[in-house]
Amino acid sequence: MISETLQQDPIVASLAGLAVAAKFEFGELTVEIDPAQIVEALRRVKHDLQFERLTSVTGVDRYPAEPRYEVVYHLQAIAAKKRLRLKARVSGAKPEIDSVTGIYRGAEWYERETFDLFGITFLSHPNLIRIMMPEDWEGHPLRKDYPITGTRY
Amino acid sequence: MATDTLITTEQDVQQDFAAHGESRGHRTMVLNMGPQHPSTHGVLRLLLELDGETIVKAAPDIGYLHTGIEKEFEVKTYQQGVTLTDRIDYLAPLSNNLVYCLAAEKLLGLEIPELAQWTRVMLAEFTRLNSHLVWLATHAIDIGAMSVFLYCFREREEILRIFEMFSGQRMMTSYIRIGGLALPHPRGWQKRVKDFVDIFPSRIDEYEELLTGNRIWTGRTKGVGYISLEDMVELGVTGPMLRAAGMAIDVRKDAPYSSYEKFDFTVPTRTENDVFSRYLLRLEEMRQSHRIIKQALEGMPSGSHQADAPGIVLPEREKMKTQMEALIYHFKIVTEGFRVPEGEVYQAVESPRGEVGCYMVSDGTQKPYRVHWRGPSFGNLQSTSKLIEGTLIADVIAALGSMDFVLGDTDR
């Protein structure tokens, strides 16, 4: 759902066809993108809207809601001093989304971190292995159904 | 596969070694660099492929200090979370307190009194001095200039005493809280800060005297550690690294927070883009921080150190003993915390290392639903491969030191 006033917004307008929802809260713009279109959305954001810097990529686990995960991209336009948040929801049964390393090469470690801690697979990522946890670790700690206490040595 | 990425991986190093070792006349070797022990300075592992003294490939490996802080935020109330932020980047505790509190205050819609805002600015700048001093001390020691360490730690000690005076803690201050400050100003703080402000510029001159014209220092740092500005922006590098390459990017100017717009200071930039220019740039930043602290000291407004927000800010001790309502609020805040309206915010602050960001998601309860920490060191470290590949092994320490990363901030 995109309200009519937000549809006038130049950023939302240039993402037309890819955006499924948008909101402007606390002075920050969030646009939700169809997960199948995320690479195209980021390409437009970088090349058409001059958001040259990808600040971070992370996840939010909305367990037990479905689609369970949100992949969150924070972007910055340095000259225009603007910030933007893009979001894509992926299902809990098959948490997969295309990697954006082809657009922003700096996404590599951020996507690895999100893969490590949430278990979201970034398709066609050049090197999708754990970054924080040991290689043989089981489970993904930032998932909501991952235990907070207990010993796992 | 490695052609379209700027970050080399362990796998790349091994593959490159296996494929080209022979054609290079068996001159290459793979060397593992650090860490020796979890408490060493900089728990970073580097896998280097060397051709003589030249680095062919370099793969950084992080995660040794991962402590699950982002997960821990989710089981602490908002106010309790402040204590975790100190421990992320242990050289910039107050910058981290600040970004976390600003994010929560944005969600709560709190108005922070001027006195608290100015104190936050002053202490954030003291944090920058503290961090830059530790950086200079250890960077110089890494390169071989032993005595600079002692000079820098002399001033750092004074800053830690000022922190202790304000918060009771030298390093894990947790002085900035949601809604203002933990405590009112201590008695006699003006004199302490004034003494420091009076002497500090001459101390910066002292460091310069030791290093800037020093032929060994310039020989080790000039023209070393070049990385193009485009690659840095692409890889998520922020802070002094970008400014030493000529980009005047600074969150304090671009999106002023906590009344930074009321202070007169400049964002220094340089264009040489090497280790030496990053050193000069940080010295200039120290001078600018000194200017800000001086202005904060001279123009410190009067008023309350906490916002007028019953139910969020703990009531005064005296009121608690005499007023029923204050007692109830105190009980409620301590036992169950306060609820934060549903929503999500991203707040950025200029930490000594670059942009530190806090992405906070609230579901309307007393505990954050999710806190993501965008540490500046994580982004900066991504540029390691690009920064040191093709250079000499002796320059690795100088180049990495000029990045000024804190592994606690990288791994969280």
Q: What is the C-alpha to C-alpha distance for residues A45 and A26, in angstroms, rounded to an integer? A: 21
Global pTM reads 0.90
Question: What pLDDT, in 10s, does the model give residues B240-257?
Answer: 999 999 888 899 988 899
Residue B393: the pLDDT is 86
Residue B45, in any domain of the structure: no
In the prediction, which pLDDT does B26 show?
72
DSSP 3-state assignment of B46? Answer: strand
- Cα B21 from chain centroid? 40
Query: How big is the CA angle at B368 (ends B328 and B356), to the nearest 5 degrees?
Result: 120
pLDDT band at B39 (very low <50, low <70, confident <90, very high): low
CATH classification of the domain holding B245? 1.10.645.10
Q: Which residue has the tokens 């800060």?
A: B193
Under 8 Å CB pairs connecting chains A and B tally to 103
Q: How far apart are CA B412 and CA B410, in angstroms?
A: 6
Nearest to B103 by CA among B257, B253, B238: B257
DSSP state letter for B366: S
A26/B361 CB distance under 8 A = no
Residue B294 has pLDDT above 60, yes or no: yes
**A19-25/A28-33 β-pairing:** antiparallel
Tens digit of each residue's pLDDT (9 = 90 or more) over A15-25: 888 888 888 88
User: Are B352 and B128 contacting, i.e. CB atoms less than 8 angstroms apart?
Assistant: yes
* pLDDT score, position B5: 61
ipTM associated with this complex: 0.90
User: Is it true that the peptide bond before B35 is cis, omega within 30 degrees of 0?
Assistant: yes
Alpha helices in B144-213 (DSSP H): 146-167, 189-211
* B59 within a domain of the structure (yes/no): no
Structure-derived torsion over alpha carbons of residues B367, B359, B253, B197, reported in degrees to the nearest 10: 50
> DSSP states of A20-39 as a string?
EEEEEETTEEEEEE-GGGHH
Confidence of residue B101 (pLDDT cuts 50, 70, 90): very high
pLDDT of B304-358, one tens digit each?
888 888 888 888 888 888 999 999 999 998 888 889 999 999 999 999 999 999 9
Of the pLDDT bands very low, low, confident and very high (cuts 50, 70, 90), residue B38 is low
Q: What is the mean pLDDT of residues B381-408?
A: 87
% helix, strand, coil for chain B, step of 5: 55, 15, 35
Rounded CA gap, B367 and A57, in Å? Answer: 22
* Range A76-92 average pLDDT: 90
As a whole number, the mean pLDDT across chain B is 88
- Contacts with B236 from chain A: Cβ below 8 Å: 53-56, 106, 110
Q: CB–CB of A60 and B374 under 8 A?
A: no
Instruction: Answer for the pair B124, B285: CB distance below 8 angstroms, yes or no.
Output: no
| Residue of chain A minimizing CA distance to B103 | A26
Nearest to A105 among B71, B235, B411 (CB): B235
Q: Residue B3 has what pLDDT?
A: 44
Enumerate residues 254 to 273 of chain B having a beta carbon within 8 A of any beta carbon in chain A.
Answer: 254-255
Q: What is the mean pLDDT of residues B282-306?
A: 91
Pairing of strands B176-177, A19-25: unpaired
Q: Which domain holds residue B218?
A: 69-308+339-375
CATH architecture assigned to A4-107: 2-Layer Sandwich (3.30)
User: Apex CA A91: angle with CA A90 and CA A92, to 5°?
Assistant: 125
Of A53, A60, A133, which is closest to B63 when you measure between CB atoms?
Answer: A133
Q: pLDDT band for B40, please (50, 70, 90 cuts).
A: low
Buried-state track A14-23, b at ≥16 Cβ within 10 A, e below 16: ebeebbbebb
In a domain, B409, yes or no: no
CB A1 within 8 A of CB A21: yes
Whether B59 and chain A come into contact, CB under 8 Å, resolves to no
- The answer on pLDDT for A152 being more than 60 is no
In three-state secondary structure terms, B354 is: strand
Least confident of A45-54, A117-126, B7-16, B195-204: B7-16
Which chain A residues have a beta carbon less than 8 Å from that of B234? 104-106
Domains held by chain B: number: 1
Q: Say which of B71, B75, B106 has its CB closest to residue A26.
A: B106
Contact with chain A for residue B236, Cβ under 8 A? yes
**B19 and chain A: CB distance < 8 Å anywhere?**
no
Report pLDDT digits (tens) over B141-191. Answer: 888 888 889 999 999 999 999 999 999 888 888 899 998 898 899 998 999
State the burial class of residue B32 (Cβ atoms within 10 Å of its Cβ: 0-12, 13-18, 19+).
Answer: exposed
Q: How far apart are the first and last CA of chain A?
A: 46
- In chain A, positions 28-67, which contact chain B (CB-CB < 8 Å)? 28, 30, 52-56, 58, 60-61
- Determine the pLDDT at residue B1: 36
Contact status, residue B55 vs residue B389, Cβ threshold 8 Å: yes
The Cα–Cα gap between B309 and B110 comes to: 8
pLDDT band at B47 (very low <50, low <70, confident <90, very high): confident
pLDDT of residue A110 exceeding 50, the answer is: yes
- Bridge partners (DSSP) of residue B29 are B50
How many angstroms separate the CA atoms of B153 and B351, rounded?
Answer: 20
Q: Which of B153, B147, B118 is nearest to B132 (CA)?
A: B153
Chain B contact for A139 (CB, 8 A cutoff): no
Q: Is B324 on the interface with A (CB under 8 A)?
A: no
Rounded mean pLDDT of B384-408?
A: 86
Q: What are the sequence ranges of the domains in chain A?
A: 4-107
Asked if residue B278 is part of any domain, the answer here is yes
∠ Cα A75 B86 A147 (to 5°): 80
Q: Is A126 on the interface with B (CB under 8 A)?
A: yes
Q: What is the pLDDT of residue B46?
A: 85
